[in-house]
Amino acid sequence: MSKQEKKGLLPARRFPEFRHKAEWKVKTFNELFTIGNGRDYKHLASGDVPVYGSGGYMLLVNDYLYDGESVCIGRKGTIDNPIFLTGKFWTVDTLFYTHSFRDCLPKFIYAIFQQINWANHNEAGGIPSLSKSNIQKIKVAVPKPDEQQKIADCLTTIDELITAQTQRLDALETHKKGLMQQLFPTKDETVPKRRFPEFRDKGAWEKKTLGEICDMQAGKFLRATDINEANKGSTYPCYGGNGLRGFTKTFTHNGKHSLIGRQGALCGNVMLATGQFHATEHAVVVTPNEGISTDWLFYKLKYLNLNQFATGQAQPGLSIDNLKKVELKISPDKDEQQKIADCLTSADKLISAQTQKLEALKNHKKGLMQELFPAMDEVAA
């Protein structure tokens, strides 16, 4: 037994009614609950019982493996995403579930599961895997059930706030997506479904190619040794196809430009860069012609889903020649273009503010958990 275990454990923050209670006790998961194995569901018919795998919800069936509160963790695949379930459910063989809790509450165990670095318990070199025997040996500190309940209630309240804020963020993103679908004409339309009143008599949008309305050039090659992770003094942001890569002493462009990712997983990714910056060869720098709003073109490029024009299987790529041939419809009035861009920019600002609010809540929960639970290294029995 370690010195830490001998002397007992106390969290940095304790609710007033428990400040003079006993120290937390160190126990193994095997002492606290039983781990159950998931099973195949293919023999079951459709129903109203949810089936879960290591990646989350899968489908509904007509029978259940367990009925009650349970904390689940991936056996194979996604092993770092604990799931709390209640009621009737079924888990497949890639997901462990827990039951038969002894002197501990499932919601409290769920909080502990969220703090464990499950990658440290991975037993495979390829697909991440956990074993029941290894999980059972993990040691954790636990207080009496009444204190567990207080902590679980506190964290549940924060989780409910996080869920509500996540739903609000999803609603804002859905609203923006719907706006774009109405503010840009479809393939068979000559005007958008929704048009600002002052532009309703401005006529049909014109059919063009990207090559006709903007200039597109690949960024400039830069050695990895010339890119710094941090902004040190008079350096400039360096962008690749997937966003900010770091900072460099030179810049290739000045002003506001759309950047299109040329290769890899984020091929077709579109971002907006402003000021003085360096673009690498993995990004296409887009400069609109006279009469085309830079902001409008940025949103239009995102709306076009440029990844569909990529070629290649193992390493998808976008050529500038192919990009120039992409067809689109544009408003002949630059003021209308800017009005659309301003509307979508407002939506982005709301999304950004909501994202920051959600991140702040998650960070608050993380900090609170660090104070509500004693600091204890993960060790095996």
Tens-place pLDDT, residues 293-302: 999 999 999 9
Q: Residue 170: inside a domain, yes or no?
A: no
Instruction: Using the 3D structure, point to which of 99, 125, 143 is the last residue of a domain.
Output: 143
Residue 85's pLDDT is 98
**Average pLDDT rounded to a whole number, residues 50-67:** 97
Residue 376's pLDDT is 64
Q: Residue 168: inside a domain, yes or no?
A: no
- 3-25: pLDDT as tens digits: 544 456 899 999 999 999 999 99
The answer to whether 72 touches 83, Cβ cutoff 8 Å, is yes
Q: Which tokens in the block code for residue 363?
A: 């960070």
The answer to whether 374 touches 24, Cβ cutoff 8 Å, is yes
Range with lowest mean pLDDT among 45-49, 128-132, 231-235 = 231-235
Residue 187's pLDDT is 87
Q: How many domains are contained in the chain?
A: 2
Spatial CB neighbours of 111, under 8 Å, sequence gap ≥ 6 = 151, 152, 155, 369, 373
- 3-state class (DSSP) for residue 192: coil
Q: Residue 201: inside a domain, yes or no?
A: no
**Average pLDDT rounded to a whole number, residues 210-229:** 94
Q: What is the pTM of this model?
A: 0.86
β-pairing, 88-91 vs 49-53, is parallel
**Average pLDDT rounded to a whole number, residues 39-48:** 97
Q: Residue 352: inside a domain, yes or no?
A: no
Q: Residue 200: inside a domain, yes or no?
A: no
CATH number at residue 27: 3.90.220.20
Name the strand (E) or helix (H) holding 286. Answer: strand 283-288
More confident residue, 264 or 259: 259
The answer to whether 220 touches 248, Cβ cutoff 8 Å, is no
More confident residue, 47 or 376: 47
122 plus 211 within the same structural domain: no
**Average pLDDT rounded to a whole number, residues 38-63:** 97
Q: Look over the chain and give the mean of its residue pLDDT values, rounded to a whole number.
A: 93
Residues spanned by the domain of 321: 206-330
Q: Quickly state the pLDDT bin for 315 (edges 50, 70, 90).
A: confident
Residue 380's pLDDT is 39
C-alpha separations of 113 from 33, 186, 215, 244 in Å: 13, 47, 52, 33
Q: Residue 264: inside a domain, yes or no?
A: yes
